[in-house]
Amino acid sequence: MSRPLRVLVVDDDALVRAGLSMMLDGIHGIAVVGEAADGDEVPAAADAYAPDVVLMDLRMPRVDGITATRRLRSRRHPPEVVVLTTFDADENILHALRAGAAGFLLKDTPPAQIVEAVRRVAAGDPVLSPRITRRLMDRAATQAGAYQRARAALATLSPRENEVVLAVARGRTNAEIAVELYMKVTTVKAHVSHILSKLELDNRTQIALLAHDAGLA
């Protein structure tokens, strides 16, 4: 028989650790081999227990789950990591995935789905809760839409006006733009005014944001 999947539970809440350990230890083919109460305990626990999968809390007092995940995944033979948290802000999700987490689940995920996630990430399949998947899809769609709208807006400007937009996005003053683009300050001001009018924007900050959305800054 193949050995059971070895799981390390990392959470600063002792009750959460105990609950996850009791739940997973009762599942055939899974063994909770250790626990850690903070991210700074994870390296030593990984050395001691050689887990296949780590269930990682996000917010912990000394070292957060994202930092601990990044450190684990930099090892030669790293375990897979499933972030299990109550915090589902987009930034948390993206930071965790970029750090190398193979899964991101919320703590209200049904036990059966947590068990399935452990098995799937151990087999090399990434896992996201349905709510998280929808959030990322919506975010991607919003970003794609903003990019297309920004590109279309900038396409209505002249090449010279686009140069001014890029300079504004880089934080240049009118005087600096004048030197950089070899024109008078009054001409720069006129270009900025025309850009605001054409694009129906209110200020230079909105010009910079539009350039950012278009991938230019």
Give this prediction's pTM.
Answer: 0.65
Domain that holds residue 39: 5-128
| pLDDT tens sequence across 60-112 | 999 999 999 999 998 988 999 999 888 766 677 878 888 888 888 888 889 99
Where residue 77 falls (left for φ over 0; alpha for ψ -120 to 50; beta otherwise) is beta
Q: Is the pLDDT of residue 1 over 60?
A: no
In a domain? residue 133: no
| pLDDT tens sequence across 123-172 | 888 787 767 666 666 666 666 777 888 899 999 999 999 999 999 888 88
Quote the pLDDT of residue 92: 78
Count CA atoms closer than 13 A to 78's CA, side-chain side.
Answer: 19
In a domain? residue 137: no
CA 4 to chain centroid, in Å, comes to 31
| pLDDT tens sequence across 18-28 | 999 999 988 99
Say if residue 108 is in the same domain as residue 173.
no
Cα 67 to Cα 70, 77, 83, 84, 156, distances in angstroms: 5, 17, 12, 14, 44
Say if residue 81 is in the same domain as residue 159.
no
Rounded average pLDDT over 56-63:
94
E strand intervals along 57-154? 80-85, 103-106, 127-128
Quote the pLDDT of residue 100: 87
Instruction: Tally the domains of the chain.
Output: 2
CA 23 to chain centroid, in Å, comes to 29
